[in-house]
Each structure stands twice: as C-alpha cells, then as structure tokens.
Amino acid sequence: MKSEKKGGGQPRSSFSGRLGYVLAVAGSAVGLGNIWRFPYLAAKYGGGIFLLVYLILMFTFGYALIVSETALGRMTKRSPVGAFQAFGRSWTFRFGGWMNAIIPMVIVSYYCAIGGWVTKYLFEYLRGSTALLANDGYFSDFIAESSGAEFWFVLFSLAVLVVLLAGVKQGVERVSKVMMPLLVLLAIFVAGYSITRPGAMEGVKYLLVPNFENFSWMTVVAAMGQMFYSLSIAMGILYTYGSYMKKEVDIEKSTYQVGIFDTAIAILAGLMIIPAVFAFSGGAPETLNAGPSLMFITIPKVFASMGFGTGAGLTFFLLVFMAALTSAISLAESGVSTFEDQLGLSRTKAILLMGAIILLLGSASSMGFGALSGLTVLGMTVLDFLDFLANSLMMPVAALATCLLVTRVVGLDKIAQEVEQSSAFNGKRLYGFFMKYLAPVFILIVLLSSIASVLGWISM
Ligand code: PHE
C-alpha cells in the first residue's frame, strides 16, 4: 500500500493487485490468533470436532462475512463507522459502525498483554534459559508475579505506540512480511519434530479426527469466536482493507485464499502444540484445559528436548514476536484512525488516547493472574473476560449488524454488483442464503447462549 488514508474525501491509496491484497490481509490475519489462541481452544473444546466445526463455519459464515465487509469497504471507501453512515444516519447505523470500530480497541489491549509474555520468552531464550522455561510451574509463577508480567506488557505496548508515533509502521510491516515465510517454515519443522515424539500420535488424532463425544454447544460458540478473531472479521478491519482494494481485484478468490492460508497456519500451530501435550504431559486434561497459558507451557518443553533447542526457541519467539507486533500495530492503527476520523483528533492525540486505553485494560489483563487476581468479572479473569466480551458478545453483534446492513439496507444485489466488478460471483446464491438466513439466525443463537451462560442460566 502506498500511503496512509485520511478522512473521507481524499483519494485513498490502494493495494497493487490481488497478490498485494492477499499478502496484506493474510499478514494481518496471521497472528497470535493462529499460533496462541487456536491451539488452546482446540485443545479445550474437543480437538477434531472443534476443527470440523471451525472449518464448516469458515466456509459458510466466514466466507460470507469477509466478502460482505470487503465489498462494503470497497463500495464506500470508508472504514466501518463511515461505511455504515454512508447508508443512513440514524442511531442504528452509528451503533453498527461503532460496534465494529470499538472491538479492535478492546482486543489490542489484551493482545499486548500476550505480546508481553512472548517478549519475555524471547528475552529468556536470548539468555539461554531453555531448560528453566520448560519447568513445570515456570509460566504460572511468571504471570502470578505481576510486576514482571506488567513490565513486559508495558515494553511491548510501548513498542507498538512508538512505531505508530514514529510513523515507521510500513517499515515494520515490510520486515514482518519477509519473516512470515520463515515463521511458516519453522512451524513446519517444529510441528514435524513435535508429532514424531513418542506418544505424540495420540495428540495428532485428537486434533484431526472428530470425536463426537467431545462435542458441546460451547464448541460451536468458541469456534465461531475464533473464526471471527483469526480472520479479523467483525472488527471493522476488513472494511478498512476493502476500502484500499482496487476494483479489479477478485473479492471471492482472495477471500478463499486468505481463509485457507490462515486456517493452514492455525492447524500447523495446533500440530506443534497439541501433540506435544500428549508427548510431554501424557495428554493430561489439566494441560489440555490450560487455556491462554497452553503455548507457553508446552512449546518450551518441545525446545528443551531438542539438541539445538535454544536456537530454535529463540527463532520461534522472535518470529511470533514479529507476527504479534504487526497484528497489534494494525489493531491499534484501526483504533487510531477511528479517533482521527470520527473525533477529529490529531494523529498524535489519537495515538496517545489509544495508548491510554491499552495501558489501562492491558494492565488489568496482565496483572489479572497476580496482584489483581481477586478482580474477576462474571467469574473470569480480566483477560478472559475481555476476550469473551470481544469474541462472544461484541463480535456476534457486529457481525449481525453487517448482515442486516447487507440484507436490509444495501441489498444483496448491490453487493453482488460490487463483487462482479472484477469477476463472476460464483457463490452468489449461496452467499445470499448465508447472509439472509443462516448467518443471522445462527449468530443470534450463539449470542443468546453466550449471554445465558454468563448469567448462569445454562452451563456450557
Ligand atoms: N487475526 C489476527 C490474529 O489472528 C488478529 C488481528 C486482527 C490482527 C485484526 C490484526 C488485525 O491474531
């Protein structure tokens, strides 16, 4: 992309061609969602059955929502708040736009807390603490000692803010693009190593073969939240990317390419981590249920058992650090541009406001396992709560807003015309069906069950 967009009326820069677009979106899609979040959810919510539900959701909803958001962005040449308001000015349009725009601001705060954990591990591998990191309890001690976790969180967040303030975002993204293929290669190598450990095959089976006994409604809720998160759907991001997309780029094809690529990386990360749970912890249920800690508990054991584990660990955490940094930058940038465009703030002020939100919510997340462990919301730690709030409550609402905008206001035909500017719209009829019936009904059911579970009406 050539230059930063600003405001409404000025000409926007654009991606060069489909490859440029796919690389940019894939670069933003691949992040902690694939490497950290997917494996722990898959481990917790049933392995193969989670993957199956995830794939079904991705090829139905995921596809329909990506096409919609991208087309709306390209049609209006606006980020979400502006895109919604291009069709109406009543409070419902404002609400829909803002819902999409606020989500990245919530996510980036706890994303930076995880980014801090990654930075800490990177630092420890630099010091050669390979064996130490693999000790049972190392990670839980680290996050329980709040000042340590908070220090690394602040450091990571400052890196994000400095990159934005110094205006070197594109430079960092360029570096990250070069590193992305390396991350894929290293992940293939680590997954290969991991699945060939004794006992690891059980884990491969657990991840890849659906076992219907493991199915629960929560599998569906979690898979849907993960799909939103990982593909950067229902958080305004794809509106913005769509607004930079040229008219001749094939929306449908690029959507498939991004979806498949993103899922492949998630499965690869699952293959690094889940078989290792079986090889090194005997598939213990408490490890499978470790949640956000899983990657940090498991991966160091894999590296500690390798001959050249320190080098591999160092490279791995460096690459994950870059993926996390670029994702955090693009999430924060989305918040910053909303503040600039909608509140009329100068860029510096907008960055400072974003920074204040990150420091506040992110500190509460990072200290939630130690000093603030008494502070729980609806029985969840702050980090888990923000994650739940964004993925299980706000994103379904944002996605629903997009469905309604498409079917009730803009009209499916207009979206089809937008898509057809570049090529035939092969999945047009299915797309219409997904947007009109399947997606809204299903999203509503998931949303209501999330609310019911939070209120303790149903247990999932
Ligand atoms: N999809 C990214 C991930 O999987 C998160 C993200 C969302 C990054 C939006 C940038 C923009 O980690």
Cα–Cα distance, 371 to 121 (Å, whole number): 21
Higher pLDDT: 227 or 378? It is 227
**3-class secondary structure, 380:** strand
Nearest to 279 by CA among 211, 190, 214: 190
Prediction pTM value: 0.90
Which of 193-222 are b and which e, b meaning 16 or more Cβ less than 10 Å from the residue's Cβ?
Answer: bbbebeebeebbebbeeeeeeebeebbbbb
**pLDDT at 341 (0 to 100):** 86
The reported pLDDT for the residue numbered 12 is 66
Gap between the terminal Cα atoms of the chain: 44
Residue 11: what pLDDT? 58
- State if residue 320 touches ligand 1 by the CB under 6 angstroms criterion: no
**From atom 10 of ligand 1, which residue's Cα is the shortest distance away?**
327
pLDDT band at 459 (very low <50, low <70, confident <90, very high): low
State the average pLDDT over residues 406-420: 92
Distance CA 383, CA 368 (A): 7
On average, the pLDDT of the chain sits at 89
Ligand 1 within 6 A of CB of 31: yes
Task: Give the atom of ligand 1 at the shortest distance from the alpha carbon of 36.
Answer: 12
Q: How far is the CA of 232 from the centre of ligand 1 (A)?
A: 5
pLDDT digits (tens, 9 = 90+) for 351-390: 999 999 999 999 999 987 877 777 788 888 899 899 999 9
Q: Is the pLDDT of residue 3 over 60?
A: no
Any atom of ligand 1 within 6 Å of the Cβ of 237: yes
- Cβ of 29 closer than 6 Å to ligand 1, yes or no, is yes
Mean pLDDT of 90-104: 91
Predicted local confidence at residue 13, as pLDDT: 65
Ligand 1 atom closest to Cα of residue 262: 4
pLDDT value at residue 4:
42
- pLDDT, tens digit, 9 for 90 and up, residues 337-356: 899 988 999 999 999 999 99
How much is the pLDDT for 284? 84
Does position 165 have pLDDT exceeding 80, yes or no? yes
Answer whether residue 5 shows pLDDT above 60: no
Distance of CA 313 to the CA centre of its chain: 23
Mean of the pLDDT values across residues 194-222? 93
Q: Would you place residue 9 in the very low, low, confident or very high pLDDT band (cuts 50, 70, 90)?
A: very low
173 has a pLDDT exceeding 90: no
Condensed to tens digits (0 to 9), the pLDDT of residues 240-250 reads 888 888 888 89
For range 91-114, the mean pLDDT: 93
